[in-house]
Amino acid sequence: MSYANKVNFDEKLSAFSEHWSPKVVGRLNDYEIKVVKILGEFVWHTHEDTDEVFIVLGGKLTIQLRDRDVVLGPREMFTVPRGVEHCPKADEEVSALLIEPRGVVNTGDAAGPLTAVFESLID
């Protein structure tokens, strides 16, 4: 049995500079654990088949929903239920952790130029 190396989120976040491009830093069963840098407004989108968890490591993130905004600070999390349209945004850079099933596309049903290419930072 092999064991993974420990993961330092600050080190992984310092390995890239692009926004809206989640990087896999770990796996748990059929889930991927990703770090992402967020700046500006994303696209309105839905994940029909899965919930999406946002855990803020640094900064202030707003998850826009059609009926309200959810504002998250460091060490806070929010789960967007499957099928709920949402649009993350940040006025200043945010670092966040995402936990999603393998293969989830970041733009969900919206696609477009912000759709990230799969990248792994696992050693």
Whether pTM > 0.75 for this model: the answer is yes
CATH number (domain holding residue 33)? 2.60.120.10
The confidence score (pLDDT) of residue 1 equals 35
Residue 110 included in any domain = no
The confidence score (pLDDT) of residue 2 equals 47
Domain that holds residue 61: 9-101
Distance CA 93, CA 84 (A): 24
Residue 109 included in any domain = no
Model pLDDT for residues 20-75, shown as the tens digit of each residue: 999 999 988 999 999 999 999 998 988 888 899 999 999 999 999 999 999 999 99
Model pLDDT for residues 73-115, shown as the tens digit of each residue: 999 999 999 999 999 999 999 999 999 888 765 655 655 655 6
Distance CA 72, CA 68 (A): 13
Residue 3 included in any domain = no
